[in-house]
Amino acid sequence: MKNPGPAENERLVALLEDALTREQRLWKVPVFKDGHIQGTDITLFQVHDVILWLGEMCKLFNFCQETLALGVCVLNRLLATVKAQPKYLKCIALTSLILSAKITEEDEVIGSVKDLVAQSGCNFSTAEILRMERIMLDKLNWDLYAATPIDFVYIFHGMLISGHPHLPSVGAHTQKRPCLQVALWTRQVQHCMACHQLSQFKGSTLALAIITLELERLTPDWFSVFTDLLKRAQIQSTEFIHCKEMVDEYLSSLEFSVPANAVYIFDSTNMTKLQDETPWGLSSRPGPRLTMSGKASRWEGETDEFYDGFGCLYNEVLALEVGGDSDTVSVFQEAHQKNASPCPPLHPPIS
């Protein structure tokens, strides 16, 4: 990616100023007291679960990440404005996502409200969602276009490329994969937005904390880069440090050290031992071994052994164990909660 010129730099500064103005005007989150949203019976666990559910719905509807981020912002603003009842929480959440989609998605992507409700598997009627839309729009003064943490991730990323082309990650990686860092940061933002403690920080602070943690690992000159962004974002240093420490602890607990597209090698020699040590009841029949050579991969073993070996690895028993969710991060989250590995012992590829 070529470094932007002066005109692009000015555009980025204008975008940041506009996002900060919208954040200052519209940002609002519910206050939790004694494990509940203050003045309601909605618990912080219910809010956490419904945000994770929104992430699943966003994937199901093929919505973009910006829609999910805006949907969570709309949900938080409403929960901070009105005293909602727990039985309406999922209806409010789904309506927040649909309203956000009407702002960020193309018309052909959204579909009808009736179809979205049917796909969600909820027991709401189309009339209930439309009625909730009118209530929410009225309570939020028809002003939904708040600045989200993902908006700030995109702006900060552009500023890094513009003002600091020497950075090893943004310079080296983006030549091969232009969205590598942005994809990682947006994924981390989505998980942080489900944490009620981190939701108390503004989106600009949260986004900069995530990016700074990455900069610390990439360059010894990270502090000068960080202070430049901190000054431009007009964020108080004490609040930022607090947010950064909490983000670091939270992301570490989610095992983000494992890449989203990690490649593992299945070693059939461990199958007998594996059957005795794991609850999945995997077959001890010898299977194949997958090895990597440069960019190409090769199989050792016959076709039937390959099918049987990996058929055992991804059998129905294992699928039930991990809840049938194919998303890598979700599996790691559940495994972390259970203090167990989500898959049999696998070996990293040989470089």
| Buried-state track 5-38, b at ≥16 Cβ within 10 A, e below 16 | eeeeeeebeebbeebbebbeebbebbebeeebbe
Ranges of each domain in the chain: 28-139, 149-253, 265-347
CA-based max dimension of the chain = 65
Helix spans in 289-327 (H): 303-313, 316-321
- The distance in angstroms from the start CA to the end CA of the chain is 28
Query: What mean pLDDT, rounded, does the chain reach?
Result: 75
pLDDT digits (tens, 9 = 90+) for 59-75: 999 999 999 999 999 99
For the cut 60, the answer to whether the pLDDT of residue 351 exceeds it is: no
Q: Domain 28-139 is in which class?
A: mainly alpha
pLDDT digits (tens, 9 = 90+) for 297-333: 333 333 333 333 333 333 433 333 434 444 444 433 4
Q: Which tokens go with 133? A: 């839309």
